[in-house]
Structure 1
Amino acid sequence: MLIDHWPLLGLRVRTARLELRLPTEDELAELAEVAAHGVHEPGKRRFLVSWAEGTPAERARSVVQNQWRRRGEWTPQSWSLDLAVFVEGRPVGVQDVWARDFAVRREVATGSWLGLAYHGRGIGTEMRAAVLHLAFAGLGAAHATSGSFVDNAAPLAVSRKLGYQPDGISRDLCDGEVLVSQYLRLTRENWERTDRPEVSLTGLEPCLELFGAR
């Protein structure tokens, strides 16, 4: 079976109402449709890579290609896991976590998107908390980082709620405009002190070597 060769297909991260996992091909098509209907307010740029500003067809195709690309480029030294977020069995967005040289650095970074129809329900906080549990409790991370444009209040509020601390800014030139991002860092010590939802992990053990976690 394919899972014998790619055990990440069996990884499950669950909270009381969410399940995070790799989607099947049919679920990936459904996830692409969620993106096609929009992931942020019209006229607002929310990502340095401008995939979300394209046409509905371009957004959908980007989601599909990104899933395939990241699986194909995976190594224990450089990996990125795009977990589909399911609510009541339906995909509503993506929570990703990635690392470089994790075996030594023990540091991950995260990013995410949600279909516009699912904003404002607390899902963003819960899915970030879930993937942080995977990183700290499951993989043994020491640090997690995140970043967002300084005018993008929602993800910055999620970070603060989960115990992150400011970690500098970046100024990037995109389409002739300077965009300022706030970066934040969460240490294992602060993660352990922060209130968070209960999270369960299944199917992790066969994946640890792929993450460079052992």
Structure 2
Amino acid sequence: MASPRLIELWPAAGVRIRAGGVEMRWIDDELAVDLALLAGNGVHEEGSMPFNSPWTRGSAREVGRSVLSFQWAARPHVSAKRLVLEFGVLIDGEPVGIQGASADDWSVLREVETGSWLGRAHQGRGIGSRMRALMLHFCFEAMHAEHVVSAAFTDNAASNAVSLRTGYELDGVQRVVREGVAATQTRYRMDRDRWLQVRAANQQLIGADVEVIGVEALLADLEPVEPAS
């Protein structure tokens, strides 16, 4: 866990979201290594690619290094202009994947985009829906977001199912390049009014009361800096 001195300097390091046996927290180096090793053991079937960037291609060591390099690069982006929050997901203390949210111009738009992955050994158990529901709770209830969006390739049945199960509404399609070939993604969106409609159903998915730690200091850190007069 992050030390009090680090949290004082970097409040994002102190953020934790807990509900029953599920915990999402800032990824320190020790947790990053655990998650890198988990990803090296597989995230999806060999013939598929659920991500825009094919970071899961290569040996276990290469995949693990991709996880580490991404996490290290993401850490500095905690500002009103560019916000990236990457949380390790733990079930009863065991790392199972990552749930993230990112935003540009957060202080103006109040909109974040979610993304996630689970180690293959932990898939098919409803964890993906629980951690997405927990992230939605965090974004709307703790961060006071106005919009949360997500996207998934049309051939990624699991991710599309999670978005629909947690209550996102369809927001069109987009064509992107995936490993050098055109592919189609389905977009999803949830605004605050929609969240209020589906909040109770998501609470049932979460299955326990939610505890959020450290968000007040993070929000204070995200206030836009007024230019000097």
Residue 5 of structure 1: CA displacement? 0.2
Is 1:52 aligned to residue 56 of structure 2? yes
Name the CA distance, whole Å, in 2 between partners of 1:65 and 1:204. Answer: 25
Change (3 A) 1:174 1:151: closer
Q: Normalising by structure 1, what TM-score?
A: 0.95
What is the count of residue pairs matched by the alignment?
214
Corresponding position of 1:97: 101
Unaligned runs of 5+ in 2: 204-208
Structure 2 matches for 1:35-50, cutoff 5 A?
35-50=39-54
Picking from 185, 189, 196, the partner of 2:202 is: 196
Is 1:173 aligned to residue 177 of structure 2? yes
Supply the AA of the counterpart residue of 1:26.
E
Q: Normalising by structure 2, what TM-score?
A: 0.89
Supply the AA of the counterpart residue of 1:30.
D
Unaligned runs of 5+ in 1: none
Supply the AA of the counterpart residue of 1:189.
D
Q: Which digits, 9 at most, give the CA deviation of each residue in 1:13-45, with x for residues without a partner?
A: 112221000133222111110000011111111
Name the CA distance, whole Å, in 2 between partners of 1:67 and 1:58. Answer: 14
Contact 2:52 2:177 in 1 (8 A): no
Change (3 A) 1:154 1:38: same
Identity across aligned pairs (percent)?
38
Q: Which digits, 9 at most, give the CA deviation of each residue in 1:25-84, with x for residues without a partner?
A: 222111110000011111111101110122211110111111111112433210111100
Residue 212 of structure 1: CA displacement? 4.2
Contact 1:80 1:98 in 2 (8 A): yes
- Higher mean C-alpha displacement, 83-92 vs 192-201: 192-201
- How well do the aligned residues superpose, as a CA RMSD in angstroms? 1.6
- Higher mean C-alpha displacement, 132-141 vs 173-182: 173-182
